[in-house]
Amino acid sequence: MNKPMQEPPPQQPMRFRDTLMSVLAAALGVQSNRARERDFSQGKPSHFILLGVAFTGLFVLIVLGVVKLVLHLSGVS
C-alpha cells in the first residue's frame, strides 16, 4: 500500500543573533552558501529588511562621524 509521507520536522525560526550575523556577513560579502540557504528557508524577509536598513543607516552615520572628526582634527572645519 501507500506509505504515508512523513512531514519534515518544523524548523525553528531564526534567532535575532543569527539574523544579525547573517546581515553583517552579507554586508561584508562573506556569507556562506549554507547560511544563505538557512536564511531563505527559516528567516523572515521583514527581519532582514529592517536589520539591513538599520545597519546601512548606522554605517553611514559612523562614516560621517569619522569624516567630521578627521576634518575637525585637521583644522579644516
Residue type, 63: V
pLDDT in tens, 24-49: 999 999 989 999 999 999 999 999 99
pLDDT in tens, 51-62: 999 999 999 999
Q: What is the pTM of this model?
A: 0.74
Residue by residue, DSSP assigns 15-51 as PHHHHHHHHHHHHHT---HHHHHHHHHH--HHHHHHH
What's the start-to-end Cα distance of the chain, in Å?
82
DSSP 56: H
